[in-house]
Amino acid sequence: MNKKFHELISEASKVVLDKNVEIRLAMTCLLAGGHLLIEDLPGVGKTTLVQVLGKLTGLKTRRIQFTIDLLPADAIGGQVFHPQEQKFVFHPGPLFSQLVMADELNRASPRTQSALLQAMEEGEVSVDGTNWPLPKPFYVIATQNPHQQTGTFPLPESQLDRFLMSLELHHASKETEVRLLQGEDPRGLLNKIHALFSEGEIEQALQQVQAVKVAPAVANYIADILERSRRAGFEGAPLSTRAGMALVRAAKAWAFLEGRDYVRPDDVQQVLVPVLGHRLGGNHGIKRGREWAVALQKATAVPV
Amino acid sequence: MTDRKFFSQKALAFSFVTAMVMVGIEVSPWIAFSSVGLLIWKWGVENLKWKPLSKKVTGVLSIALLVQILLQFRTFIGQEPSYTFLLGLSGLRVMDYRNERDHRFLVLLGFVLVSVKALFSLDIYWIIPSALAFAGLWYSLLPGALPHKGRVLLKVFALSVPAAVIMFFAFPRVVLPWAMSRGSNTGQIGFSEELNPGNVAELAGISTMVFRAKLSETGIKNAENLYWRGSVLPYSRGLSWRPGTLGLRAPEKGTEVSKSSLYEIALEPHSNTYLFVLDGTSEVQLEQGRTMSLNGDIYRSARPLMTTTVYRAKWSEGSKDTLAPDEDYLRTPEMRGRVLEWVEQTKKDAAGTEERLQALQDLFAKNDFTYSLNPGVYGGPNDLEAFLFYRKRGFCEHFAGAYATLARSLGIPSRVVVGYQGGRYNPMGDFWRVTQRDAHAWVEVFHQGVWQRKDPTSWVAPLRLVIGAEDFFNLSEEDQKVFARNVQWRPSKDSGITLWDRAEFLIDDLNYRWTYFLVDFDRSSQKSFWQSLADMKLQMILGLIFVTVIGVLLFRSLFRTKGLVSEERVLFLAVQKWAEKRNQPQESGETPLHYLTRLAEENPQQREALRDIGHFIDQKAYAGERLERQSQHLLRLWKQAVEKGS
């Protein structure tokens, strides 16, 4: 099964150049059943990444561009009156798809943000007292502009916590940029690739990830990391138990991608910065958080 | 204590209550009962949803406890106030038990309770519950997540045993002048400095043990012949006798080389310095400078006997005191009334000393004297007359006192000896147990150049000497009177030794060994232990070393996994140590597998071994494979690889 994912990653790398690690982490996040937050400047390839992933996984992909005047109903959908049948009928919004790209999430008003985040957490939306389940798998990739930029509503810590991972997409290296500038428009390439997964396969993989084993030694290591983040003198926000559970889920998915049915501390370290970056950063921003995450990893001894 | 589980609370509850009960026996009833009350209340809180006391209330109660102790004892210092405070505090803290911190505090308090109790009473009866409570407290400290708690505890205990044994024998013993005594209540009453009528009878009413004696070498089998000398009283006041200065015995000149044998006495602490010895003892061996040998074959300790004291003494059959007395040994108070008549009459009738002694014996044997524990009080101007001619009821001290005074007035130098007579033989441990019941007084008269023992009790109540004090005083007063002179008579008992007797003997024997070998293994015992080790043959020592080596090997195979350290950890630590020597330390935060891979790249000669170790750690620690016994093989391979490389 994981071979298919490797194939996907190599295919995606052909379109989104120089973003190997990020693609892999994005897949890890999907396999762990979490949601992904990408923070970076416009024009570094966020949208392309999402589109490629959507296409290759065969998931139904929608994009919601968040603006300050976007209302919750615009994303979720709403009740529309049908005059013939004399009743209101629910029209699902763009949120009702398997892979949702929430572009520039921090430009939306807190009210709209929280509507989306609630849907992410619960896997269903409720409109006028009726619950509508979202399709499965449900994977949100949200992007946000660096929080210093004007016209943003920064996400509060409690809502940042709903994202399993956060990523930064850096500017491509010069060589890559040269290739990009010479080569085809990535959007053109997009039309040439095809889905690698049939319906239900992704969900099956998600279940296999759940079955990955976590040995006591590894759980101990994660507990040590949490404990260390709570010690006096550590700058970042203290980590919650939920953060630890997120770390376990992400490490399991990473181990699955590696083709193993058990987690090594090495897997934990691979996903540590993306999983903990935004949680440690809090209102200092993801960038600082990632630095602290690296420091935390260095400071925590790995037990045998 | 059901929903809050940090550690084993059952073990804590069991051990803590045991500790509290042990201490509770020592304190005044009010605190014992209120502690039990608090325990029951706590039980009710946990099981029947009673209302618990708030921390505020228990705090106030703690202060009230302190005030009460101050009012009751006027001090906080000492055994009883501290027991009381500890016990009260324990009850209140049990009430407060809520979280992990309280748990640890209770464990600490439990340790204090157990050790305080063990410090003050070293009897084996208390050692067993103390040890149980101690183990339970340790057990309750082991985290709940530990899978084999009992086994871990046993392992730790077993591992500590060899070290403890070595420490016990080899640790230097020092006697600190400020060291704690074993409590004031252990200094038992004994003979007072003078022999007043009724003193010995009072003593004989108590069954506390005085000493144990091992006499196997002397060959004495009969309780009748066991006269344990305590002190000699030289001053007569008629019926009662007073002590006097005896004077240190001059060192013997020509030591007669008669057949002598050693016996051993383990003396319980008592309020005097008497070292009790068998009649016929010529030398007492205790620590240097601790014994004083007095005239009259009396031995004293230079220091108060605060702990159980073990000493050896040399005994030879027929060894008698030959020191000639001065005229002080003829001094009596003035004789009056019928006593004077009797003395005058006897002086006329019997000319020689032999005859006079016979007349004295006849006086006691042929008159209807009653030997009794409750002879009543003698007093008044002529108590001797009242005793000898009117009431005729007395205990050994009356007979001895009267006999010796009469003997003096007849011109025979005499003195009263107080001590013990007989004892109870313990066939299990082959020792004699002498209790206060065996308290006795007899007379020595100087005749034909030696001091001869005369025991008037043996004419009045010979049965007492034959069957021993314990059995004799267990008879009813009427039986005592009727059978006192019937030496052949025996109390109707089930034949032989009953099961109960057997158990009693066994426990007493255990307690004796415990005291002798463990509690009172002091400086002198230690010295003699090492001395005897040095005296042993070389073969013996070699044999001992051999046994030790075998023992060590056995232990090694028992604990192959090196205690609590996992196999993979042992391997990894071995590699880590090696790499650190080569200046290739593990970076901070580096995973073990990454480190091993890096080392394998940097050290091509050990690459194979490092890869194998990495694989083993990966499979064992992370994949959860049960790869038992592989680590030994890997460790060997690893050592080979290292040797090859160097």
The full DSSP string for B160-188 is HHHHHHHHHHHSPP---TTPPPS-GGGSB
Token pair, residue B298, equals 């009396």
Q: How far is A301 from chain B (nearest CA, A)?
A: 5
Half-sphere exposure of B515 (CA within 13 A, CB side): 20
Question: In B, which residues are within 8 Å of A301 by CB distance?
Answer: 588-589
Tell me if A304 and B623 make a contact (CB, 8 A cut-off).
no
Nearest chain A alpha carbon to B571: A304
Closest residue in A to B569 (Cα) is A304
Are the beta carbons of B589 and A302 separated by less than 8 Å?
yes
Nearest CA in chain A to B573: A304
pLDDT digits (tens, 9 = 90+) for A209-241: 999 999 888 998 999 999 988 887 778 888 889
Judged by a CB distance cut-off of 8 A, whether residue B617 touches chain A is yes
Report CB contact under 8 Å: A264, B569: no
Burial of residue B617 (CB within 10 Å: 0-12, 13-18, 19+) is buried
Q: Among B84-93, B288-297, B339-348, which stretch is predicted with the lowest mean pLDDT? A: B288-297
Least confident of B324-338, B434-448, B478-492: B478-492
Mean pLDDT to the nearest integer, A130-155? 81
- B55 contact A CB<8A: no
Task: State how far the Cα of B347 lies from the Cα of A151, in Å rounded to an integer.
Answer: 137
DSSP-based three-state secondary structure for B566: coil
Residue from the list A260, A262, A302 with its beta carbon closest to the beta carbon of B590? A302
Least confident range of A290-304, B341-355, B510-524: B510-524
- Tell me if B622 and A302 make a contact (CB, 8 A cut-off): no
Question: How close A229 gets to chain B, by Cα (Å)?
Answer: 14
Determine the average pLDDT of the residues in B101-116.
Answer: 89
Comparing A66-80, B108-122, B509-523, which segment has the lowest mean pLDDT? B509-523
Residue B3 has pLDDT above 50, yes or no: no
Q: Measured between beta carbons, which residues in chain A are less than 8 angstroms from residue B589?
A: 269, 297-302
Q: Do A213 and B623 touch (CB under 8 A)?
A: yes
CA distances from A217 to A222, A263, A297, B146, B568 (A): 9, 10, 16, 14, 11
Query: Tens digit of pLDDT for each residue in B14-31?
Result: 899 998 888 888 888 888
Q: Domain ranges in chain A? A: 1-209, 211-304
- Rounded to the nearest angstrom, the minimum Cα separation between A30 and chain B is 24
Give B-chain residues touching A218 at CB under 8 angstroms.
Answer: 622
User: Between A and B, how many residue pairs show a Cβ–Cβ distance under 8 A?
Assistant: 48
Contact B579, B585 (CB under 8 A): yes
Pairwise CB contact (< 8 Å): B589 & A301: yes
DSSP-assigned states of every residue in chain A: -HHHHHHHHHHHHHHSTT-HHHHHHHHHHHHTT--EEEE--TTSSHHHHHHHHHHHHT--EEEEE--TT--HHHHHEEEEEETTTTEEEEEE-TTSSSEEEEETGGGS-HHHHHHHHHHHHHSEEEETTEEEEPPSS-EEEEEE--TTSSS--PPPHHHHTT-SEEEE-PPPPHHHHHHHHHS--HHHHHTT------TTHHHHHHHHHHT-B--HHHHHHHHHHHHHHTSTT--SPPPPHHHHHHHHHHHHHHHHHTT-SB--HHHHHHHHHHHHHHHHHGGG-HHHHHHHHHHHHHHSPPP-
Candidate ranges B66-80, B146-160, B193-207, B500-514; pick with highest mean pLDDT: B66-80
Residue B616, pLDDT above cutoff 80: yes
What's the pLDDT tens digit per position in B28-42? 888 888 998 988 988
Beta B298-301 vs B291-294: how paired, if at all?
A: antiparallel
Distance CA B98, CA B395 (A): 63
- Show residues of chain B in contact with A299, CB under 8 Å: 588-589
Q: What is the pLDDT of residues B454-508, one digit of tens each?
A: 888 888 888 887 777 777 777 777 777 777 777 677 666 545 567 777 787 788 7
What is the strand order of the sheet B439-447 is part of? B277-278, B227-233, B414-421, B439-447, B450-454
The reply to whether residue B588 touches residue A299, judged by beta carbons under 8 angstroms, is yes
Chain A residues whose CB is inside 8 A of the B143 CB are none
Determine contact: B621 vs chain A, CB below 8 A.
Answer: yes
Chain centroid to CA B10: 32
Q: Which of B92-96, B418-422, B541-545 has the lowest mean pLDDT?
A: B541-545
Percent with pLDDT over 90 in chain B: 4
Chain A residues close to B622, C-beta within 8 Å: 215, 217-218, 262-265
Which amino acid does the sequence have at B246?
L
Which of B591, B617, B621 is the closest to A269 by Cβ? Answer: B591
Q: What is the ipTM of this complex?
A: 0.84
CB contact under 8 A, A264 and B618: yes
pLDDT of residue A164: 92
Structure confidence at residue A272 (pLDDT): 92
Does B194 have pLDDT greater than 80? Answer: no
Residue B196 in this model has a pLDDT that exceeds 70:
no
Check residue B184 and give its pLDDT.
39
- For A212, name the nearest residue in chain B, comparing CA atoms only: B623
- Comparing alpha-carbon positions, the chain A residue that sits nearest to B594 is A266
What confidence tier does A253 reach under pLDDT thresholds 50, 70, 90?
A: very high
Expressed in percent and rounded to 5, the helix, strand and coil fractions of chain B are 55, 15, 35
Chain B hits for A217, Cβ within 8 Å: 621-622
B562 shares contact with chain A (CB less than 8 Å) = no
Average pLDDT of chain A, as a whole number: 85
- Give A76 or A271, the one with higher predicted confidence: A271
Q: With 80 as the cut, is the pLDDT of residue A17 above it?
A: no
Which residues from chain B sit within 8 angstroms of residue A252, using beta carbons?
A: none
Single-letter residue type at B397: E
Residue B100 has pLDDT above 90, yes or no: no
**Closest Cβ opposite residue A262 in set B588, B589, B622:** B622
Gap from B571 CA to chain A (nearest CA, Å): 10
pLDDT computed for residue B181 by the predictor:
43
Pick among A248, A263, A302, A304 to test the B interface (most B CBs inside 10 A): A304
Per-residue pLDDT tens over the stretch A177-217: 887 787 766 667 777 788 888 888 888 888 889 999 998 88
Chain B residues with CB inside 8 Å of A302's CB? 589-592
Contact B588 A298 (CB under 8 A): yes
Residue B21's H or E segment, with its range, is: helix B9-24
Residue among B325, B210, B361, B217 at smallest CA distance from B281: B217
Q: In Å, how far is A285's CA from the nearest CA of chain B?
A: 24
Mean pLDDT across chain B: 79
Find the mean pLDDT for residues B330-354.
86
Chain A residues touching chain B at CB-CB below 8 Å: 213, 215, 217-218, 260-266, 269, 297-302, 304
Please check whether residue B593 touches A, CB under 8 A.
yes
Closest CB from A269, A297, A304 relative to B621 = A304
Is B96 an interface residue toward A (CB < 8 Å)?
no
pLDDT at A244: 92
Identify which of B592, B618, B623 has the shortest CB distance to residue A302.
B592
Rounded to the nearest 10 degrees, the angle between the axes of helix A201-210 and helix A20-31 is 80
Task: Give the rounded percent of residues in chain A with a pLDDT score beyond 70.
Answer: 97
Do A297 and B589 count as a contact with CB atoms less than 8 A apart?
A: yes
Q: Does B315 touch chain A (CB under 8 A)?
A: no
The domain made up of A211-304 has a fold known as Helicase, Ruva Protein; domain 3 (1.10.8)
CB contact under 8 A, A266 and B590: no
Q: How many CB atoms are located within 10 Å of the residue B337 CB?
A: 14
pLDDT, mean of residues B258-286: 80
Residue B646: pLDDT band (50, 70, 90) is: low
Verify whether the Cβ–Cβ distance A262 to B624 is below 8 Å. yes
Which of B588, B592, B623 has its CB closest to that of A262?
B623
Search chain A and give the residue with CA nearest B586: A301
| Parallel/antiparallel/unpaired status of strands A165-168 and A36-39 | parallel
Nearest C-alpha in A relative to B567? A304
Confidence of residue B291 (pLDDT cuts 50, 70, 90): confident
Q: Which of B569, B622, B631 to mutate to test the interface with A (most CBs of A within 10 A)?
A: B622
Give pLDDT tens digits for B580-615. Answer: 888 888 888 888 889 988 988 888 888 888 888 888
Which residue from B minimizes the CA distance to A267?
Answer: B591
With a pLDDT cut of 90, the percent of chain A lying above it is: 16
Please indicate whether residue B518 or residue B88 has the higher confidence score (pLDDT).
B88
Residues in chain B with CB shorter than 8 Å from the CB of A304 are: 566, 568-569, 572-573, 592, 617, 621
Pick the residue from chain B with its C-alpha nearest to A295: B589
* DSSP-based three-state secondary structure for B640: helix
What are the distances in angstroms from CA B256 to CA B252, B259, B282, B284, B320? 9, 9, 11, 16, 12
Q: Tell me the pLDDT band of B67, cut-offs 50, 70 and 90.
A: very high
Question: B-chain residues within 8 Å CB-CB of A262?
Answer: 622-624
Whether residue A251 has pLDDT greater than 90: yes
Phi and psi of A155, rounded to 5°? -75, 135
A1-209 falls under which CATH superfamily? P-loop containing nucleotide triphosphate hydrolases (3.40.50.300)
